[in-house]
Structure 1
């Protein structure tokens, strides 16, 4: 592996998530001539090459021939067929493999690609599309410290990352970050609907809710106190915020969130069993 700027091939690279990572890498100064994106749609690949300045290919085997890092960004359902086709072309080589696919355990990748390949499971979330993502990372002992640093650098182009010590930790990351943008979107949607039902113009309600969500998140990130204290800072005894928060508490919001996150984590584990066949 080239220590400074390894050659990275993104299989499925013209898709949204891989495209966001490629864009983040190039914007951060990573050499565009060290990146290749593959895909099946020629027109989409051409447009992608034009917008990002990277090489593209519709031939996965040619693209990976001299790759230091292979990033897999395809649907889990097609992963086995793809990897079994690549396997004969990886014999005797040890490129780092990073997978963005949800639900497929590391053991399955080793069966489909080869036991000795260094593989990192990476679970990014959709805010990576605007360079504010969170990515959970898991690797076993086959991945070197240098390769771990490379994986961090790649996903770090679109946000922050967190290594987990056990593979089940990826399911926990999915519950608290991977799937979590949808939780916040649902809460925003409920607020917008409620404000609209009470007479505020829907466009105005959406503008206010989204800006408030953005401001609250930025305040929480910048603050040196925890979110519980930030909540208390908004509440005055007997005031409007206290009344609203009490309604959330009476409705069991905390337990509902805990139950939903548990269901999410359990479903991630179920998917791993379904896809590991």
Structure 2
């Protein structure tokens, strides 16, 4: 792969850097730029990569520029880089929600290779999901290298339309928090049932981990796995009936649609 610059040293860029280096990428081909020294110096120390406070220096160094800053900063960063660097020779990868391709193109001043991505936080553990959408200027080689980059932290899904980024946000980008909320509710009830906080945490996290691994290791439909542990007239059926009668399916659907709608609003506000 070519040289890569990470603009921003936040959680997502840090996760990708960790995945890259762990998968054997050459540290001297990676640079991270961040205005404050602490985070970038820690990454440089941990992974022996280059670091700078100068976005122009980082962009000049690299073939791929990963934009890991807040959505409302991306346009300013793109304008800053385009004022000093030939952006047509670079490939920009955005890992931020709420900043459209057209917004970045306008800030860069001309059409150039851009890939919008939407990773999720389990990328920090190498268990992420990333949706990707390329601009027409992205070459086959650039697409392959971007795919390898994001596969260093999980699985990838290439999208056929930019609007599908909002779908990925609803399905996987925001979704870890859905599971955390459900686990949190179970943890609270376990404590009310008499388990200690530590015991409750351990019981819930191990159960969630085991359930997820059963899905991974079985080809059966998730509904079949559910049915397999639900004896007629048993305790599991009693619990599931309460969840179903309480409208869980509709509630989950509404929540995911709310995430999608908010992603669209954010993109429009940053346009």
TM over 0.5: yes
Q: Which runs of 5+ in 2 are unaligned?
A: none
Among candidates 19, 25, 31, match of residue 30 of structure 1: 25
Among candidates 108, 125, 128, match of residue 130 of structure 1: 125
Q: CA deviation at 1:274?
A: 0.5
Partner of 1:6: 2
Does residue 239 of structure 1 match 2:234?
Answer: yes
Q: List, as ranges, runs of 4+ consecutive aligned residues in structure 1 with deviation greater than 4 Å.
A: none
Q: Which runs of 5+ in 1 are unaligned?
A: none
Does residue 90 of structure 1 match 2:60?
Answer: no
Q: What are the within-5 Å matches in structure 2 for residues 251-266 of structure 1?
A: 251-266=246-261
Q: CA deviation at 1:115?
A: 2.6
Distance in structure 1 (CA, Å) of the matches to 2:263 and 2:214: 31
Instruction: Note closer, same or farther for the CA distance 1:88–1:267 as it changes in structure 2 (3 Å cut).
Output: same
Whether contact under 8 Å (2:62, 2:90) holds in the other structure is yes
Partner of 2:179: 184
**TM-score normalised over the length of structure 2:** 0.97
Does residue 79 of structure 1 match 2:74?
Answer: yes
Partner of 2:193: 198
Does residue 250 of structure 1 match 2:250?
Answer: no
Q: Considering only aligned residues, what root-mean-square deviation do their CA atoms show, in Å?
A: 1.1
Distance in structure 2 (CA, Å) of the matches to 1:43 and 1:161: 31
Distance in structure 2 (CA, Å) of the matches to 1:128 and 1:92: 28
Residue by residue over 1:123-157, the C-alpha shift from the partner in whole angstroms, topping out at 9 and shown as x without a partner, is 01000111100011011221111111111111111
Whether contact under 8 Å (2:87, 2:112) holds in the other structure is no
Residue by residue over 1:220-275, the C-alpha shift from the partner in whole angstroms, topping out at 9 and shown as x without a partner, is 01111111000001111111111111111100000000011111101111111101
Which stretch shifts more, 40-49 or 98-107?
A: 40-49
Task: Give secondary structure in 2 for the equivalent of 1:65.
Answer: helix
Task: Give secondary structure in 2 for the equivalent of 1:271.
Answer: helix
Q: What are the within-5 Å matches in structure 2 for residues 92-131 of structure 1?
A: 93-131=88-126
Partner of 1:145: 140
Q: CA deviation at 1:102?
A: 0.7
Task: Give secondary structure in 2 for the equivalent of 1:6.
Answer: coil
Distance in structure 2 (CA, Å) of the matches to 1:43 and 1:102: 25
Distance in structure 2 (CA, Å) of the matches to 1:46 and 1:174: 31
Task: Give secondary structure in 1 for the equivalent of 2:115.
Answer: strand
Task: Give secondary structure in 2 for the equivalent of 1:174.
Answer: helix
**Count of equivalent residues:** 271
Whether contact under 8 Å (2:5, 2:33) holds in the other structure is yes
